Amino acid sequence: MKKPSAKQRLTDGAALIGATQPMRVDIPGTRRNVADLAGDSASESTLATLERAMAELKALKIAPFLQRSVECIRLEDAVGAGEWAVKALECDEKNGIAWRLLGISREKLGDFATAITCYETALTQLTDQGEIANDIGRLAYRLDQKDVAAKLFAYFCNAHPEIPDGANNLACVLRDQNRYAEAIDALKAALGRHPENPLLWNTLGSVLCEQGDPATALTFFEESLRLDPAHAKARYNRGNALHALSRFDEALVDCEAAMAIAKDPTDLAMMRLSRSTIRLCLGRVAEGWDDYEARFDPHFAGVTQFLINRPKWTPGDDLNGKSLLLIGEQGLGDEVLFANTIPDIVKALGPAGKLSIALEPRLVSLFQRSFPTANIGAHVTYNVNGQTIRTIPFLGDHKDIDLWAPLASPLRRFRTSHAAFPDRPRFLIPDEGRIAHWREVLKTAPEGLKAGILWKSMKLSGSRHGHFSPFEQWAPILTTPGVCFVNLQYGDCAEELAQAKAELGVDIWTPPGIDLKNDLDDLASLCCALDLIIGFANATTNIAAASGANVWLIGAPGSWVQMGARRHLWYQQVRLFTRPVDGEWDDVMGETAVALAKSSPSPMEHKPG
């Protein structure tokens, strides 16, 4: 049997790496630090190192192919670089330089999974493995393989302590894993050796921002800019810190200044996405939604690709009589939030139009009841060769679809100002029979005003920690007399329930017979049966508010969802309690407790149900 070529083995390997598996994925966040990883697999110093190694090759036949590959990389011709590298491998499939050049080519083309395979093969053939470890680490980071990336960057640091890139990259991974103290230690050690390196100061500032201390982070971003006034990432990140401090006008100046000097297309996409949230916070709603389209920029690693071969809707398209498909995006709570425009879309389609909606599977039954004329089913998301693909299997071949849009995109037409948000009590319709059921069940709970509570999110990576108070700070609320607290917190919360009982003497009552994470249709009915829901913005509070329940939202300042308004525009009945910009969680938790005490009758006066 003929031995397969290096090119064929590479193709087979890529197919194995890309084995399709269902998964859930979120679009990149709208306010975060630009990826601060240092190093470029195609840098001039790297290419010069490869050329020195090539000069020592005795196999003259392979040398011209390698040189042509390097020349293509210098010309930013990644396709040509790969083709010449494959020609070299067909001459000598064990040549480490050729594998590394092919890895650079695949990385520049966005095929990160195959690039990792090439770099790993190069590792087995080359003696200096440190720089390749850094290359693989950066790709593993982009593919969200943070544990692998941390090990590779640590290896690079040990192999080349004189190069600050290693400590910088290691700190970025540790930051994203919420290992802040370790990240700071790595940066302090590197800054001791390289105090004039602006990248290290910038990354140190990003760690402080992620920890929830944007005021201190400003000092480090400003030091980075003092050392390098043209450092686009530091200027953008300083804008993020100003945003977190609700200094939106200054944040916009920094963001746009960074966009004017940034070169990397991924950085530019993230900056535009950040500008969208700043503009929304300033009440510049239409501009904000236009910038928000950057969430689908192809330069984002892992950006969702929607598998539908139909025209994409634009704000100027006439919907009357058309067949439109809306596809849910981002997290479950976002799918509910963005559904705010669906009643307007149904009206725009008219009686001859047809609406289809693809959603997270747990939302399907609730939306079917709420929009009975629409065709509603579940979307399915896969990871194929490192690419995120979202499909709509319930619609078959999509031939009856005239236009399609991601669920948030119609905001560009239907919600272009504060005044465009309608004053409607709800847009989701819970099951009235189940509401009656839960009212009966709640009669078996302890006496008092029935207040459902939620205190955390299952996604607390990075700066999201700053949007949720520690559970200990719920004490003023939980000790309010005349209130029966009902547990609406999905996920494992046994520790907090036990803590409330042991430290405060408060029994948080858990409703029987419901999976709070998965039974979302029934959850909407339970929320509407309660007197009140108190918590932070997450999937449950969005479902409750969209269903017309009485919701009090506790939040951090600078939320783009509020869009500079003093009230909640998406859900008219929601009451906002916002932590002061320069204050602690104690302030807003105390304010919420005072309001709750005023709303609660004494236990003797309250009639359950």
pLDDT tens digit string along 31-46?
Answer: 455 546 766 666 666 6
Amino acid at 136: I
Mode of pairing for the β-strands spanning 551-555 and 532-535? parallel
Separation CA 597–CA 609 (nearest Å): 19
Integer Rg of the chain from CA: 27
- Least confident piece of the model among 114-118, 398-402, 423-427, 519-523: 114-118
Q: What is the pLDDT of residue 138?
A: 82
30 falls in which pLDDT band (50, 70, 90)? Answer: very low
Residue ranges per structural domain of the chain: 304-416, 432-599
Q: Residue range 216-221: average pLDDT? A: 96
pLDDT at 241 over 90: yes
**Model confidence at 13: pLDDT above 50:** no
Q: Which residue has the tokens 């680490």?
A: 137
**pLDDT value at residue 26:** 37
| Burial environment of residue 266 by CB neighbours within 10 A (0 to 12, 13 to 18, 19 or more) | middle
> What's the pLDDT tens digit per position in 144-201?
788 888 988 888 888 888 889 889 999 999 998 989 999 999 999 999 999 999 999 9
What's 504's DSSP letter?
Answer: I
> Lowest mean pLDDT: which of 8-17, 111-120, 442-451?
8-17
Q: How far apart are alpha carbons 433 and 133 in whole angstroms?
A: 60
Distance CA 207, CA 572 (A): 36
The residue that leads in pLDDT, 212 or 171, is 171
Q: What is the pLDDT of residue 227?
A: 97
Residues 44-68 pLDDT 10s: 666 676 677 677 665 578 889 999 9
d(Cα 136, Cα 119) in Å, to the nearest integer?
A: 7
Question: At residue 317, does pLDDT exceed 80?
Answer: yes
Query: Per-residue pLDDT tens for 521-567?
Result: 999 999 999 999 999 999 999 999 999 999 999 988 888 999 999 89
Average pLDDT of 466-482? 85
Alpha-carbon dihedral of residues 9, 14, 15, 18, nearest 10 degrees? 160
**pLDDT at res. 162:** 86
pLDDT value, residue 238: 96
- Angle in degrees, CA 558, 459, 508, rounded to 5: 95
Residue scoring higher pLDDT (6 or 415) = 415
Q: How far is CA 79 from CA 18, 69, 75, 102, in A?
A: 20, 9, 11, 10
Q: What is the pLDDT of residues 253-282, one digit of tens each?
A: 999 999 999 988 888 999 999 999 999 999
- Per-residue pLDDT, 557: 84
Question: For residue 122, what pLDDT is reported?
Answer: 86
CATH classification code of 432-599: 3.40.50.2000
Contact in structure between 426 and 546 (CB atoms under 8 Å): yes
- Residue-wise pLDDT for 93-114, tens only, equals 888 889 989 988 988 887 888 8
Contacts of 495 (CB under 8 A, 6+ apart): none
How many beta carbons lie within 10 A of that of residue 567, not counting itself?
13
- Residue carrying the six token digits 């609660």: 600
